[in-house]
Amino acid sequence: MARRAKAPAKRGRTVSNFSKVPSGELLTLLDFVRYAVSRFVEAKLVFAHGTTDPVAEAAFLVCETLHLHPDQFETFATARVTAREAKAILEVIARRVTSRKPAAYLVNKIYLRGLPFYVDERVIVPRSFIGDDGGSLIEDPGSVKHVLDLCTGSGCLAVLAARSFPQARIDAVDISKDALSVAARNIADYGLGERIKLHRGDLFGPIGEARYDLIISNPPYVDAEGMAELPRECRAEPKLALDGGADGLDVVRRILKEARRHLTSQGGLLCEIGRGREVLESAFPQLPLLWLDTEDSEGEVFWVGAADL
């Protein structure tokens, strides 16, 4: 969910021309985070790409600029930065404000389930809730031998599936050649080229009659109203990966229609649909969908077994 920073009343200056910070005024990591938060709030930025508030986004950008893992922030919060590092931090803060691009694009990195992934404008910034507790549905992860990841994008869910199901081979499908290039990079970074195979095509098209123990998908699901109201940060992402049609369920309907013949008898579909739960339940009242709520989401991911499709 996108969250916009609330700005106080303006006092005669705009974000686009805020003055350069004199040397020595900001010293520690915490100083730069505070400064970034003030600029982000002043600019009314939107946070929808892995961070949900200006403080988390500021800490993320500061740490990435200094080549620190986000978990290390507290350790170094009061450490001073060099003049060269200060310049780099201020530059990335300014770019975030002036370009309105997602922070992940500025540093070409996002963390999902604590793991880093490469991203750029060829893919949406991964922020799926799939995986928060989906693994609890599988009693024996070793029994999963074949997984299909539809609309793989950056390949992050395929990588997470490979780590969750150590005996599984994964097919990852996307219609975008550019997205598959990013996915290939992430798969290579994790040394999973022997277990994850990429396919270019439309949903089930490239995989023939193959069957899977598990199908996962984070498809395009933004409805027409949502697409019309996307903030600038989200408009920087590929439209193809966001646009789910009039009610947001164009692709989801196709997945539900075809999934059964690609699942083993004990298999199941794990799918994210954003805020489309009410529409989906109205369209498929016969399906016993199991909704998987997490700490950060409610009614956005569902599970349905092959026997119920």
Given a cut of 50, whether residue 77 has pLDDT beyond it is yes
The fraction of the chain above a pLDDT of 70, given in percent, is 92
- Helix-helix angle 54-65:29-43, to 10 degrees: 130
> pLDDT band at residue 135, thresholds of 50, 70 and 90?
low
Across 146-152, average pLDDT: 98
- Residue 50 · residue 125 · CB < 8 Å: yes
Across 265-289, average pLDDT: 94
Residue 103's nearest CA partner among 117, 86, 87, 120 is 120
**Residue 244 confidence (pLDDT):** 95
Of residues 173 and 13, more confidently modeled? 173
Name the 3-class secondary structure at 266: strand
Across 42-53, average pLDDT: 90
For the whole model, what pTM was predicted?
0.89
Across 165-170, average pLDDT: 96
Given a cut of 90, whether residue 305 has pLDDT beyond it is yes
Count Cβ atoms below 10 Å from residue 1 Cβ, excluding itself: 11
**Residue 296 confidence (pLDDT):** 72
Of residues 22 and 187, more confidently modeled? 187
